[in-house]
């Protein structure tokens, strides 16, 4: 009889131990996945995107942007679908090599194939005001460079 009790008691003890081992393995895998993702994000280069830029028409001047500001066509601002508001982005015209730095304060463009909508001022500086569209590359400016650009104004 004692042998039966000990085998039953060892079965009772093994289930909680098994649960603990399974929980440990799951937790370990989750931690490794999160750590791997964090390492991947940390080692990525500065975000870079190429595509077509357009510019806001004058009818947007004075209207609220997605971040709540009033759109001012005289400022170098832009709309992007995913970049955080306040991000500073270097937009380069791939035809001419001319570049302008803009601040993201709106969402868009909502036209397939376009990656950024520029204010009238930014479009003028980039040389796309007459055509309305241009092939561009955009690059998020890192914090160190952003600080320098703001300090140099």
Tens of pLDDT, residue by residue over 30-68, are 667 555 554 444 334 457 899 999 998 788 888 999 999
pTM above 0.85, yes or no: no
Residue 121 CA to residue 75 CA, distance in Å, equals 6
Residue 16: pLDDT over 70: yes
Burial class for 65, CB neighbours closer than 10 Å (0-12, 13-18, 19+): buried
Task: Name the residue ranges covered by the structural domains of the chain.
Answer: 1-44, 48-151
Query: Looking at the domain that runs over 48-151, which CATH code has it been given?
Result: 2.40.40.10
**Given this model, what pLDDT does residue 18 score?**
74
Tokens of 40: 């991947």
Angle, alpha carbons 152-78-72 (nearest 5°): 80
Q: How far is CA 29 from CA 24, 32, 116, in A?
A: 9, 5, 39
Q: How many residues does the chain have?
A: 153
Q: What is the mean pLDDT of the chain?
A: 80
Residue 45 CA to residue 140 CA, distance in Å, equals 10
What's the half-sphere exposure (Cβ side, CA atoms, 13 Å) at 92? 11
Given the structure tokens 């969402």, which residue do they identify? 107
Residue 140: pLDDT over 70: yes
Residue 77 CA to residue 119 CA, distance in Å, equals 5
**Given this model, what pLDDT does residue 39 score?**
42
């Amino acid at each position: 009889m004692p042998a039966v009790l000990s085998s039953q008691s060892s079965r009772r003890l093994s289930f909680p131990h098994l649960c603990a081992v399974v929980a440990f393995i799951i937790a370990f895998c989750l931690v490794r996945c999160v750590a791997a993702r964090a390492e991947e994000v940390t080692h990525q280069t500065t975000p870079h995107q190429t595509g077509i830029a357009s510019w806001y028409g004058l009818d947007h001047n004075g209207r609220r942007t997605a971040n709540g500001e009033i759109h001012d066509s005289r400022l170098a601002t832009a709309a992007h679908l995913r970049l955080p508001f306040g991000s500073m982005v270097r937009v380069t015209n791939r035809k001419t090599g001319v570049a302008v730095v803009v601040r993201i304060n709106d969402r868009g463009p909502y036209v397939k194939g376009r990656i950024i909508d520029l204010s009238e001022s930014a479009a003028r500086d980039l040389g796309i005001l007459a055509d309305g569209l241009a092939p561009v590359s955009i690059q998020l400016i890192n914090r160190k460079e952003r600080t320098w650009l703001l300090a140099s104004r």
